[in-house]
Structure 1
Amino acid sequence: MDLMVGGSGPAAQGNEDSMEIAALPYVDERTELVAADADAVWRAVGDVLDGAFGSGYARLVGCPHRTASGPRPPAEGSVWPGFRVDSATPVRKLVLTGRHHFSTYALVFRLDEAGAGRTRLRAETRARFPGPGGALYRLLVIRTGAHALLTGRLLSSIGRRAEGL
Structure 2
Amino acid sequence: MSPSDPADDLPFVDEHRTLVAAPSAAVWRSLGAQFTHHRATGADLLAHLLGTVPRSAGGPPLTESAAVPGFAVAESAPGRRLRLAGRHRFSRYVLQFDLADRADGTLVSARTYAEFPGPHGGLYRLLVIGSGGHRLAVRRMLRDIRDRAERGTG
Normalising to structure 1: TM-score of the pair?
A: 0.85
Q: Distance in 2 between matches of 1:68 and 1:128?
A: 23
1:90 aligns with one of 71, 78, 83: 78
Q: Partner of 2:66 in structure 1?
A: 78
Asked if the contact 1:21/1:106 (under 8 Å) is kept, the reply is no
Structure 1 runs of 4+ with >6 Å offset: none
Q: Which has the higher contact order (CA 8 A, sep 6+)?
A: 2
Q: Which runs of 5+ in 2 are unaligned?
A: none
Q: Partner of 1:156 in structure 2?
A: 143
Superposed CA RMSD: 1.8
2:28 aligns with one of 33, 42, 60: 42
Normalising to structure 2: TM-score of the pair?
A: 0.91
Q: Distance in 2 between matches of 1:51 and 1:22?
A: 30
Matches for 1:1-165 after TM superposition, within 5 Å: 13-14=2-3, 22-52=8-38, 54-72=43-61, 74-116=62-104, 118-165=105-152
Q: Distance in 1 between matches of 2:23 and 2:8?
A: 28
Q: Which runs of 5+ in 1 are unaligned?
A: 1-11
Instruction: After TM superposition, give the deviation of residue 64 of structure 1 in Å.
Output: 2.4
Q: Distance in 2 between matches of 1:13 and 1:111?
A: 19
SS of residue in 1 equivalent to 2:55: coil
Instruction: After TM superposition, give the deviation of residue 56 of structure 1 in Å.
Output: 1.5
Q: Distance in 2 between matches of 1:14 and 1:77?
A: 15
